[in-house]
Structure 1
Amino acid sequence: MPAANIAAEAPGTIATLLSFGLVGFGSLALLEKFIPVIPSYVLFMLLGMTVPDGSGLGLAILVTTIGSAAGALGWFSLGWLLGPQRAARIVERYGKYVFLKPSFYEKMTNSYRNNHFWVTLTGQVIPTVRIYLALPAGVLRLDPRSFTVATAVGTFLWNTPFLCLGYALRGTPYNPVHVGFWASVILFIAEGSIILFFSLRRKRHASQS
């Protein structure tokens, strides 16, 4: 299906933003961090399907990485301003409306007992976690520079495969929802394998020392 037709058949708000080109791409990547109505893997594959050429794909990766990172920084800033007590109260009262349970929020907060940079980076390639992890990071007032770099790298690693998949599937009958789901599963398994490898390696070195 031609890129123009894909954009025209997208849901109303998405189609409107797509009409603004790269600005729309960045805006959708930012809004996806606050309004997780459509799974990100579907959104980014849809965006990839509307990219006209290879150079446009590179720019799409760049602007969506910036947009996603900006959205994460928005959550980070909110957490920084609220502080631990107010953030916990708000999550307790309103979290259910945005799929953020208090127990999940607590788990994300506790995850920062380990290496902050790697927790932020890997969190950006885990569904749901990638949206809300920045909130406890802000509450804990982590180093903004390290957080920004880790977030940018993580969002690049998440957005790029789905944008490229969408670009590669232009003109094919494959359903982006199904393809994106299995791609996210594969990405999650690969990430889990890498984390497990380094965790076992660290434990082995610790036992030998």
Structure 2
Amino acid sequence: MDMPSIVTILLSYGLVGVAAVALTEKLVPIVPSYVVLVFLGMTAAAGWSDLGLVVLATTAGSTVGALMWYGLGRGLGHDRVERFVSRWGKYVLLPASLYRKLGESYRRNQFWVTLTGQVIPTVRIYLPLPAGVLELDPRPFTVATALGAATWNAPFLLLGFLLRDTGHDPLTVGLWVVVGLVVGETLILFSVRALSRVLAKRRQGSGERG
């Protein structure tokens, strides 16, 4: 798969270009992030020391992109963001129902919601928007976003780095990664549900004997 020419141009600027690619991906998610990150791992890191710098650069770019979404939400405010999402959100993978769920998620631990949100596709892009509308404290928000971005970016960059000399296509690798994630999440979900049923039956049995 050939990356857009703008990506090639940006990468010619070294780590600054790598950060710019990550920033662009966060603002204009035309190509899925896992494809971009695998591609960067294949092309932007010549050695292990370079890989660490690429992780830091992409984390910085992703964090800045999230802060721009945060600033947009904070600047526009609740009503204007609601109107925009209701009218245009469905065209950018942000239906009004998802936007409201993201906002409601902040009723729980805001730091952990921000951190874990950075490792969920689509959510990682748009979660900062309601965070800005709600005017969350930008300092813990930035720290949580950076930690979450590094957690998301590093495995895909490492995968691309390990596959850089194999001739694999980043899109194909990314799709297989997604399949693996979906299968893994499904297995975990079924395991948790099965365990919950077993524990519920045990509690019910203990109650009847009591």
1:11 and 2:16 matched = no
Report what 2:163 is aligned to. 169
Query: So what's the TM-score if we normalise by structure 1?
Result: 0.84
Give the percent of matched residue pairs that are identical in Structure 1 and Structure 2: 55
Kept after mapping to 2: 8 A contact 1:14/1:28:
yes
Distance 2:170 2:53 in 1: 21
- Select between 173-182 and 100-109 the one with higher mean Cα deviation: 173-182
1:38 and 2:31 matched = yes
The 5 A counterparts of 1:1-209 are 10-50=3-43, 51-187=45-181
Shift of residue 179 of structure 1? 2.1
Distance 1:152 1:35 in 2: 19
- Displaced runs of 4+ in structure 1, greater than 3 A? 184-194
Gaps of 5+ in 2: 197-210
Distance 1:121 1:181 in 2: 24
Distance 1:88 1:158 in 2: 28
Query: So what's the TM-score if we normalise by structure 2?
Result: 0.83
Structure 1 residues 44, 96: closer, same or farther in 2, change over 3 A? same
Shift of residue 10 of structure 1? 3.2
Gaps of 5+ in 1: 1-5, 201-209
Q: What is the root-mean-square deviation in Å for CA atoms of aligned residues?
A: 2.4
The structure with the largest alpha-carbon Rg is 2
Kept after mapping to 2: 8 A contact 1:126/1:188:
no
Question: Match for 1:172: what amino acid?
Answer: T
Shift of residue 143 of structure 1? 1.2
Distance 1:191 1:64 in 2: 25
